[in-house]
């Protein structure tokens, strides 16, 4: 067996090697000044490796023992790219942030890279066992990252809530997996689909199992009413961790949702289980879009507002997943494009908060940002681009992300059209709190003693923002190539 036989899982192997190397460097070397750069370079290398295989047109080889549990398909490769890019940009942000706040330690980057590895395993998982292993690998690292600033009461509170609720969600998902195995006699998603589609599964056990799987995965996506951990964890964590969780962890959860719902329980498979899963996702999407946007309106903390905004975006993603039952590959490709657009937009928004912070202090409230756009335009402008993309304004990546998702819902017809209409209205509500930040940046004066002094930041932070802004604008002006990759991944998966 040669190295070529492992090309399909080479991005995963690269991250494992990089993580182990970082552990050795941290243990035996006192020099840690370039760990952020090494981590970012490793993750970007993983993204480049996965991306080259994605656009090559040929599926890479992988050992049968591996593909029994982890897919080596275009869908997995696309999510590898998204997760690695999100992780690499977060590592660059951390390089400036942690040093500025006196928090730079080697274990941060080790945790980041292994959490990204867990997210990639989860995104590729095609077996109930690998789903659980990927989920736990990702989650354990994420719990530790949220609590990384252990002297902060908010960080500890957010980590404890995340850990406790995450443990319950994981237990429910594991119980659902056991029920699904009992109902079908299979742990692999392909075998489960065949048994369910043939009507040979125990219907009661299968429905209970699907509900439990949905609860566990909805928790990771941050869908209402399983979102309770999101605002406290996002606000308490250091901003680079918040950035990473909002993009990479969410992307992995979306990937496994697609594999379970559209793959194992898609089409005739789900219809054999009473009315299928589409109405459940339909209702979850409504609740998530509406609650996420309304809750964001009431926030005085910008990080907390962006946390509830992340909840709302989970609702928009669920619109596309709900439409997949009717329009298949187009809906899945719309979700993939949306996740990619959301990744670079969110990195831009959260990363700009680091740049607009005063010495040793984050810019977390609206008052902290008052007048910053006039005094420090180069620091505020990336934030404006990011929030306009999250809002869905052209010509940004977020505009086409929402356009494709809502178009999929309209093409699905029936009640899905009203879901698209509600999504547009919810986006209108979101315009208030996004534009409110811009008003504070350019049209408000700071209170006495609240003027923001932007420090000389690490080139890493600037590099992360420049890269993110470039792709936010490029995907908004020339979305065709990126949509083609998403369509290729979705079509390959659906076939």
Is 450 domain-assigned?
yes
* pLDDT above 90 for 30: no
Cβ neighbours of 149 (radius 10 Å): 19
**Encoded tokens for 340:** 């990619």
- Residue 477 domain-assigned (yes or no): yes
Whole-number pLDDT of residue 274: 44
CA 393, CA 473: separation in Å to the nearest integer? 11
| Residue 444 domain-assigned (yes or no) | yes
CB 365 within 8 A of CB 439: no
Extract the tokens encoding 70: 């982890």
Instruction: Give CA 170 to chain center in angstroms.
Output: 18
CA–CA separation, 50 vs 12, rounded Å? 10
Mean of pLDDT over the chain: 86
Mean pLDDT confidence for 202-218: 88
Domain extent, residue 314, equals 277-495
Helix (H) or strand (E) holding 374: helix 372-375
Nearest to 493 by CA among 75, 120, 29: 75
CA 401/CA 338 separation, integer angstroms: 4
Facing residues of 125 across strands?
Answer: 70
- Is 328 domain-assigned? yes
Reported as a pLDDT band with limits 50, 70 and 90, residue 23 is confident
pLDDT of res. 310: 93
Structural domain includes residue 289: yes
Whether 367 is in a domain gets the answer yes
- Say if CB 244 and CB 141 are below 8 A apart: no
Tell me how far CA of residue 431 lies from CA of 258, 294, 306, 368, 421, in angstroms. Answer: 29, 11, 13, 20, 16
- Looking at the structure of the chain, the number of domains it has is 1
Q: Which of 370, 245, 235 is nearest to 306 (CA)?
A: 235
Structural contact between residues 363 and 457, judged by C-beta atoms closer than 8 angstroms? no
Q: According to DSSP H, which parts of 147-267 are helical?
A: 153-184, 189-197, 203-221, 229-236, 239-244, 250-257
Q: What is the dihedral of CA 269, 275, 276, 279, to 10 degrees?
A: 160
End-to-end C-alpha distance for the chain, whole angstroms:
29
Give the C-alpha separation, 284 to 349, whole Å. 26
Tokens matching residue 248: 């990479």
Share of the chain above pLDDT 90, in %: 47
pLDDT digits (tens, 9 = 90+) for 216-256: 999 999 998 888 899 999 988 898 999 999 999 999 999 99
**How many beta carbons lie within 10 A of that of residue 228, not counting itself?**
14
**266 assigned to some structural domain:** no
| Of 28 and 81, more confident | 81
Q: Is the peptide bond before 469 cis (omega within 30 degrees of 0)?
A: no
CA distance 359 to 453: 7
pLDDT tens for each residue of 297-353: 988 888 899 999 999 999 999 999 999 888 888 999 999 999 999 999 999 999 888
Residue 25 lies in a domain: no
Q: Could you read off the pLDDT of 400-446 as tens digits, one per residue?
A: 999 999 999 999 888 899 999 999 999 999 999 999 989 988 887 76
Which residues lie across from 406 on neighbouring strands? none
**Per-residue pLDDT tens over the stretch 456-474:** 467 888 899 999 999 999 9
């Amino acid at each position: 067996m040669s190295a070529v036989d492992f090309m399909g899982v080479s991005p995963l192997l690269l991250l494992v090697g990089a993580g182990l190397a970082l552990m050795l460097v941290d243990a035996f070397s006192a020099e840690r000044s370039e760990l952020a750069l090494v981590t970012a370079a490793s993750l970007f290398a993983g993204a480049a490796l996965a991306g080259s295989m994605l656009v090559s047109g040929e599926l890479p080889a992988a050992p049968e023992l591996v593909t029994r549990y982890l897919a080596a398909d275009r869908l997995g490769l696309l999510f590898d790219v998204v997760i690695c890019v999100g992780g690499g940009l977060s590592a660059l942000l951390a390089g400036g942030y942690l040093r500025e706040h006196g928090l730079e330690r080697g274990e941060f980057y080790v945790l980041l890279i292994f959490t990204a590895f867990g997210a990639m395993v989860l995104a590729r998982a095609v077996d109930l066992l690998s789903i659980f292993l990927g989920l736990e690998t990702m989650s354990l690292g994420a719990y530790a990252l949220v609590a990384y600033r252990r002297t902060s009461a908010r960080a500890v509170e957010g980590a404890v809530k995340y850990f406790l609720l995450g443990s319950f969600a994981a237990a429910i998902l594991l119980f659902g997996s056991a029920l699904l195995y009992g109902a079908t006699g299979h742990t692999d998603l392909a075998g489960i689909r065949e048994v369910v589609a043939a009507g040979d599964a125990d219907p009661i056990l299968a429905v209970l199992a699907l509900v439990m799987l949905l609860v566990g995965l909805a928790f990771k996506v941050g869908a209402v009413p399983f979102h309770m951990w999101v605002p406290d964890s996002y606000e308490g964590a250091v901003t680079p961790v918040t950035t990473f969780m909002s993009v990479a962890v969410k992307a992995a959860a979306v990937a496994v949702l697609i594999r379970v719902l559209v793959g194992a329980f898609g089409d005739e498979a789900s219809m054999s289980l009473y009315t299928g899963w589409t109405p459940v996702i339909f209702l979850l999407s409504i609740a998530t879009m509406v609650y996420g946007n309304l809750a964001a309106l009431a926030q005085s903390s910008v990080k907390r507002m962006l946390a509830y905004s992340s909840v709302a975006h989970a609702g928009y993603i669920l619109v596309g997943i709900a439409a997949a039952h009717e329009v298949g590959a187009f809906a899945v490709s719309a979700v993939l494009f949306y996740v990619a657009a959301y990744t670079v937009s969110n990195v831009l928004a959260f990363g700009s908060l680091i740049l607009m912070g005063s010495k040793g202090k984050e810019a977390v409230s609206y008052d902290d940002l008052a007048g910053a756009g006039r005094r420090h335009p180069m620091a505020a402008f990336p934030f404006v681009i990011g929030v306009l993309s999250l809002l869905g304004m052209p010509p940004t990546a977020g505009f086409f992300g929402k356009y494709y998702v809502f178009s999929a819902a309209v093409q699905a017809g029936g009640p899905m059209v009203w879901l698209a209409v509600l999504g547009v209205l919810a986006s209108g509500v979101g315009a208030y709190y996004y534009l409110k930040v811009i008003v504070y940046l350019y049209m408000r004066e700071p209170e006495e003693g609240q003027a923001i002094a932007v420090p000389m930041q690490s080139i890493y932070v600037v590099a992360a923002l420049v890269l993110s802004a470039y792709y936010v604008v490029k995907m908004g002006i020339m979305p065709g190539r990126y949509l083609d990759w998403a369509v290729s991944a979705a079509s390959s998966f659906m076939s």
